[in-house]
Amino acid sequence: MKIKKKFVQSTAIALMVLACAYPRVKTDAAEMDNDVQQEQSAYQQQMLIQEQELLQQNAKPEVVSKEQLQVARANVSAQQSGRQLVFIGDSRTVGMNNAIGNDGNLWSAKVGMGLSWMKKTGVPAVESQITANSDVVILMGVNDVRSLSYTDKYIKYINEKAATWTALGANVYYVSVNPITFESASYPGISNSLIEKWNSKMQNGLSENVNYIDTYSQTVGKLSSKDGMHYNNNSYKTIYSLIKDGIITDKLYEQYNVQV
C-alpha cells in the first residue's frame, strides 16, 4: 500500500503533464488523416503505460546519507517521546512490563492467555484509551502456537481491530512470537520451528493496517531463560528496545520514504 500510494500520486502528476500537452496535440491532429490520429493515440497510450510502469518501479525507499538518516531518526525519535505505547500480551509481556516498568506506556497483559482472553478482556481493557497518539503493540500467540490454524482467527480479529484503530489515527504493530531458548517438558510441543511457521503465517496474513515487527530473527539464540519460555530482565529489555526501534524504522519509511 505504501508503494501504491506513492504510485497514485506520481501517476496523477504524469497525467496532469499529459493533459497540459493534449490541446496542442489535438490542434495539430485536426490536420491529420484518421490513420495518423489513430497511430498517435496508440503511441500516447503506450507511452502512458510505460511511464506508469517506470513510476511504479521507482517507488522505492530513498538512499540517503548517514547524516540525513541521523537527522530523520532524531526527528522521529523526538516525535515518539510524546506518544503512548499500548501493549497487549501474555506472560512474556507481563515479564517485560516488570523489567521495564510502566515507562509512560499502557499495559494489558496476563499470564497464560491467548486469543479468547485478548478478545474478551485484553483489548477491551485498553481500547477506550486508544487515540491518534497511540501505537498499539500486540504480543500474542505463543500460548496458541501449537494450533497453526489459530493464525486465521488471530489475523481476522487483529485486522478488524486495526482497521478501527487506524481510522482513529493510531498505528498498529504485531510483534513476532519470540523464540524459546530450549525445548522443555513444561511446554510440550512448542519448538522454534513451529514458532517460525506461526510467524510466517501471521506476517503474510496481516493487513496493510498492521505493521509486522520481526524480533524473532534478531533474538533467536541470544536470549536467556530458566524455563525456556520466559526470559530474564536483560532479555526483556532487549526485546523492548527492538520493538521501539522497529516502530521508529517503520515511521522513517512512512515519513521520509527511508528504509533501514
* Nearest-5° Cα angle at 247, 244 to 248: 90
Q: Which domain holds residue 162?
A: 66-256
Same domain, 29 and 117: no
CB neighbourhood size of 149 (10 A)? 8
Same domain, 98 and 197: yes
C-alpha cell at 136: 498499539
pLDDT for res 42: 61
Same domain, 197 and 241: yes
Give the chain's domain count.
Answer: 2
Question: Any idea of the CA torsion for 251, 254, 256, 260, to the nearest 10 degrees?
Answer: 60
What is the spatial distance between Cα 235 and Cα 120, in angstroms, rounded to a whole number?
29
- The number of residues in the chain equals 260
Q: Tens digits of per-residue pLDDT, 230-260? A: 999 999 999 999 999 999 999 999 888 877 6
Instruction: Report the mean per-residue pLDDT for the chain.
Output: 84
More confident residue, 61 or 113: 113
What is the spatial distance between Cα 44 and Cα 21, in angstroms, rounded to a whole number?
11
Same domain, 78 and 197: yes
In DSSP notation, 98-145 reads HHH--TT-EEEE-TT--HHHIIIIITTTTGGG--TTEEEEEE--TTTT
Same domain, 74 and 171: yes
CB-facing half-sphere around the CA of 227: CA atoms within 13 A: 10
What is the spatial distance between Cα 109 and Cα 86, in angstroms, rounded to a whole number?
10
Q: Is the pLDDT of residue 29 over 60?
A: no
For the ranges 26-30, 58-62, 214-218, the lowest mean pLDDT is seen at: 26-30
Same domain, 15 and 44: yes
Same domain, 31 and 88: no
Q: Which residue, among 169, 101, 94, 177, has the nearest Cα to 136 in the 3D structure?
A: 169
Q: Is the pLDDT of residue 37 over 80?
A: no
Same domain, 24 and 113: no
Answer whether 251's CB lies under 8 Å from 79's CB.
yes
pLDDT for res 20: 40
Give the CATH number, domain containing residue 92.
3.40.50.1110
What is the spatial distance between Cα 257 and Cα 94, in angstroms, rounded to a whole number?
34
Same domain, 175 and 208: yes
Q: Tens digits of per-residue pLDDT, 168-226? A: 999 999 999 999 999 999 999 999 999 999 999 999 999 999 999 999 999 999 999 99
pLDDT for res 66: 86
- pTM for this prediction: 0.76
Same domain, 37 and 79: no
Q: Which amino acid is at 47?
A: M
166 three-class SS: helix
- Can you say whether the dihedral through the CA atoms of 186, 187, 189, 191 is positive or negative? negative
Residue where a domain terminates, one of 37, 57, 77 = 57
Residue where a domain terminates, one of 57, 78, 98 = 57
Same domain, 108 and 127: yes
Residue where a domain terminates, one of 20, 37, 57 = 57
Same domain, 45 and 72: no
